[in-house]
Structure 1
Amino acid sequence: MTSLCANDQSTVSFQRKWVYEFLIVGFKEPLSIETLQCWKDMLYTSNLSVFAEGNTHLNTFFTKLKIENVSEVVEKENNEFFRIFNVFNEKGEILAPPWESVYVTKDQTMFGETVFQLRDKLHQFGLRFINEKEEPEDHIAIQLEFMLFLLQYTEKAFDERQKDDFMRGIYNQYWLLSNHLMQWIKPFTKDIYSYSTSDFYKGIATLLLDFIYEEFEYIKSFKEVLENG
């Protein structure tokens, strides 16, 4: 189906899934003490620190996590999560709203057209947000979870030699990246970097921006290979 061998495809998919999973944990909800303890243990036994390569803020966060009390870290990071993503300031604004609609609609409100586009696409794959109609589906964590689903969908089709499903997976990854994530990820991460005082959240903002741009170029080139060959 492609010029990539199965081993290459498997390795790339594993690396991509690892980054998506890390970002989802960071953006979906406040960090739990179990997650931070797991990360702390992993810093001594695995390559979790690969996320910090070239990322000053994540490197600082992981360095501090090694020596600080986990309970104190989780309290500090949880307070920051709510401060920048959930709590309205004195101007009635959320510092770094994690919803696409806020960045791409003229009135900067939630539940814009992007929500319904994403809802429809989720339905096409038999997926439904558990809080549909109560919370917008264009939240950054939901978009990242959908990308992870599409990656796994595409990988399964590749392994089973299902060409149509494989093409569907690639084209929908491109759709989600080009029509959504690439449309708002830059101002969103800029807001995090501007307003957050946390090395963790500044660090994952940097990782998110760099990774999504890399993802777009990767899937774009993959799509072109398929179309040309």
Structure 2
Amino acid sequence: MVTAMSEENEARLYGRAFLYEMVHTVFGGEPNETLFEALCSPACIGTLQDMRCEGAALARLAGFCERIEADPEARAAELERSVSDFNRVIAGLGANRESFPWESAYTSSKRLLFQVETLEVRNAYRAFGYQPELYPRVADDHLALECAFMAALAKATLEAEDEVERERLLAGQEDFLANHVLKWIEDYARDLHEDAPVGLYDLTAAALVEYAATDREFLGTLRHT
């Protein structure tokens, strides 16, 4: 049996699962109309509006979604910009860039990919029986995959049927944030802002930086209450 949690904590668990899944989707492939329809949906806008109190970056991301929902011309322009930004600074087709969406590019001394840090991320996935859909074609420490993992564990936490399993999942998420996501996401977001200073990717990365730190605190508090 799982002890019932407060409505506030349960709502936050649903919100964090949504946000990590959103970041995974935004950074996981070239943006298209389907993605922008999802960003304009009442579910997305409503969830982000509920999270405004978490900080200014989340409020800006919510405002972006509200704007493209209300203005078809702005939506078309932002989709075009996002496709360009993705291919230039996320997929890596641009020659001159500062940002790299892989953890090992920020935590290894030589900023190389597929280093020991990548294997550590893979081991963290395996501890929970998780394997990325694109394995082994995409490095495990890509931002999209790390957020997909966080989303998967967040959803599993909501579905856990006993206290031991819920505690294991909460501890795993807190540990992954501390030892992986939070070690590089702020530096990455700073560099991404230099490469693509406005638009969906800049806003989403900034929102993740803001949210991840408070999320770690939330998980710690939830585990000890």
TM range (shorter): 0.7 to 0.9
- 1:132 is the counterpart of 2:131: no
- 1:73 is the counterpart of 2:72: no
Q: Distance in 1 between matches of 2:151 and 2:47?
A: 19
> Residues 22-41 of structure 1: matches in 2 within 5 Å?
22-40=22-40
Other-structure match for 1:174: 174
> Residues 35-184 of structure 1: matches in 2 within 5 Å?
35-40=35-40, 42=42, 47=46, 50=49, 53=52, 54-55=56-57, 57-58=60-61, 59-60=63-64, 62-64=66-68, 66-69=70-73, 70-87=75-92, 89-90=94-95, 94-157=97-160, 160=161, 162-184=162-184
Please report the TM-score for the alignment, with normalisation by the length of structure 1.
Answer: 0.82
Q: Distance in 2 between matches of 1:40 and 1:149?
A: 23
**Residues 80 and 190 of structure 1, relative CA distance in 2, 3 Å threshold:** same
Q: Which amino acid aligns with 2:151?
A: L
Which structure has the bigger radius of gyration? 1
Q: Which amino acid aligns with 1:189?
A: A
What's the offset of the Cα at 1:154? 2.0
**Residues 155 and 65 of structure 1, relative CA distance in 2, 3 Å threshold:** closer
Other-structure match for 1:206: 206
Q: Is residue 103–residue 184 contact of structure 1 (8 Å, CA) maintained in 2?
A: yes
What's the offset of the Cα at 1:60? 4.8
Gaps of 5+ in 2: none
What's the offset of the Cα at 1:90? 4.2
Q: Which amino acid aligns with 1:77?
A: S
Q: Which amino acid aligns with 1:67?
A: D
Deviates more, 1:19-28 or 1:174-183: 19-28
What's the offset of the Cα at 1:117? 1.4
SS in 1 for 2:106: helix
What percentage of aligned pairs have identical amino acids?
18
Q: Deviations for 1:144-182, whole angstroms, at most 9, x for unmatched residues?
A: 11111111222222xx2x122112111101110110011
Q: Distance in 2 between matches of 1:221 and 1:24?
A: 25
SS in 2 for 1:205: helix
Q: Deviations for 1:119-152, whole angstroms, at most 9, x for unmatched residues?
A: 1222222222243343210011111111111112
**Residues 48 and 154 of structure 1, relative CA distance in 2, 3 Å threshold:** closer
Q: Is residue 104–residue 183 contact of structure 1 (8 Å, CA) maintained in 2?
A: yes
SS in 1 for 2:132: coil
Q: Deviations for 1:33-92, whole angstroms, at most 9, x for unmatched residues?
A: 12213433539x95266289434753256425532344543222111111112225546x
- 1:7 is the counterpart of 2:13: no
Q: Which amino acid aligns with 2:90?
A: F
Q: Which amino acid aligns with 1:163?
A: E
What's the offset of the Cα at 1:210? 0.4
Which has the bigger relative contact order, CA under 8 A and spacing at least 6? 2
Gaps of 5+ in 1: none
Provide the alpha-carbon RMSD of the alignment: 2.8
Please report the TM-score for the alignment, with normalisation by the length of structure 2.
Answer: 0.83
Q: Distance in 1 between matches of 2:214 and 2:106?
A: 21
Q: Which amino acid aligns with 1:39?
A: L
